[in-house]
Structure 1
C-alpha cells in the first residue's frame, strides 16, 4: 500500500472511495446518537467529515496507520492516533466504523473478533473478491480480497443482526494510462514499484471494476 506517498493528491483521484463513503453513511439514521465513536483508517477524512456531519456524538477517536492527522484536525471532539488496526488495543465504543480499509487487514477474522468484543454496533465497507480484475489479470498481482459469503458468515457469529449490500462500481477512462494514474494516486492495488515498464505500457484497459460490500451490524 502506497497511500502515504500521495496524501496530498489522494482526494483528487479517490472517486470510488468518495462514492462508497457516501453510501455507507446512508446506513445510519440522520442525527443518530452515539456516545463514543471509533473510526478505523480515517485517511484524509473523506468518510470522517461525512460521518460527523450526519450523526450526533460525544467524542470520536480516529486512527490511521499513517500520520494523516492534519486532514481531520478540524473535527470537533476528536482524537487522532497513529495505529495499526490489527494491533490496536480496542476498548468499548458505541459505534465502530470504517470505510474502504478492512481489506488491508492481515487477519480479518481476528480483527472482527476484537471489534465485536468492543462494540454492539459495527458499520463498514470493504472491497471484496472480484475487485479490480483488470489489474489482477494483466499484472498477475494484487491483494487477496475476502469473499462476501465468508465475511457474512463471520459477522453472523458475532452480531444478532446483519444488513448488507454488495455493488459493482465501474470507472471509465479515456486512456489506459489514466486508469493506472488513478490507481497510483489512490495507492489501493498493492502493485509493486518493481513492475516492468513493458508490462505497464502493454496495459490496454479503459475501465476499472470495483467490487464493494457494505455491512451494518448490531446486537
Structure 2
C-alpha cells in the first residue's frame, strides 16, 4: 500500500474545522497514552508529532514539567487551530512539516509523543530512525497508532462488492516492534486494545471519517466514481450485522513506549 501524502495533507487541512466535533476516540486514546506514563516526570523539550488540533499539546502543557513543547503537523490549518487554542503559551513552538522529514537537530528532543498520527506515514522504519536521531540519550518515543483490525467491518463490506482497496491497511504490533528494533530503540512496550464504536448508520460512520480527515487516501486507488448502486450494496452488506438498529465499527489502537 502506498499512501498519497498530497491527499493526506489536503484531507487534514479540510478537516481542521470539523475534527474536534467527532474526535472523542482520539481524545480518549490520548488520555490513555499519557496515563501509561508519569507525565509529571516529563521535562525538557517535548515534541507532539502530528499534533492535529492540539489536544495532546494541551495535555502536555498541563501535566508535564516541560521547558518547551514543539507542535508539528503536516497541515497548516491544523497548526493554526492549535495555536488559536493557546495563544498566550510562549513555551509552544509550531512547525508545519512532514513527520517523515523532521526539520530538527540531532539529539535536541527529550521526548516524542504522537497520538493516532503515525499511521499516515509511508515508511515507519525510516520515521523511527529519524525520531531516534532527534532524541537525546535516555529519550523516549511514546505513541499510539491504529492496528490491522481497525474498520475490519467496513473492509469486509466493501469486499462483497468489488476488489478495490477502500480501507487503509495498518501495521501490526509485531511489525511495529521490528521497525523499532531496526531503528535502534530498546525496551519497547506495546499494548493493543480494541475500541468498539456504535453508529446509527454506515453513512454516519463514513461522515465521521470524513470530518476526521481519515477518508481513504491510497495512491493508485480506484479512479472511477463509486456508483450509488455499488455504495448501497456495500451498505446493505454492512447492515446485515446490525444489532439493536446500530452497526459497530472496530478501532484497534496500539500504544507504544520505546526508549533509546
Q: TM > 0.5 between the two?
A: yes
Q: Are 2:104 and 1:90 aligned?
A: yes
Structure of greater Rg? 2
TM-score by length of 1: 0.91
* Structure-1 residue corresponding to 2:13: 4
Q: Are 2:95 and 1:69 aligned?
A: no
SS in 2 for 1:31: helix
TM-score by length of 2: 0.78
Structure 2: which 5+ residue stretches go unaligned?
1-7, 159-164, 240-246
Runs of 4+ in 1 over 4 A off after TM superposition: none
Structure 1: which 5+ residue stretches go unaligned?
none
Q: Are 2:34 and 1:15 aligned?
A: no
Deviations 1:19-73 (A, max 9, x none): 1111111122141232111111111012221222111101111111101223222
Deviations 1:71-117 (A, max 9, x none): 22214401111101112233220001100001111111111111112
SS in 1 for 2:205: helix
SS in 2 for 1:94: strand
* Structure-2 residue corresponding to 1:169: 195
The number of equivalent residue pairs is 219
Report the Cα distance in structure 2 between the residues aligned to 1:72 and 1:51, rounded to whole angstroms.
Answer: 13
Deviations 1:149-192 (A, max 9, x none): 01112223422222221001010012222122111211224168
CA contact (8 A) 1:25 1:54 kept: no
